[in-house]
Amino acid sequence: DSVEVVIDNRGKAPMPVKLVVTRADSSADTVMVPVDVWLGGAKRTTVRVAREPTVKRIEIDPGNEFPDIDRSNQRWPR
Q: Residue 71 region, left (φ>0) first, then alpha (ψ -120 to 50), else beta?
A: alpha
Q: pLDDT digits over 24-69, tens only?
A: 999 999 999 999 999 999 999 999 999 999 999 999 999 999 988 8
Q: pLDDT digits over 1-16, tens only?
A: 999 999 999 888 899 9
Strands 75-76 and 28-33: unpaired
What predicted TM-score, i.e. pTM, was given to this entire model? 0.89
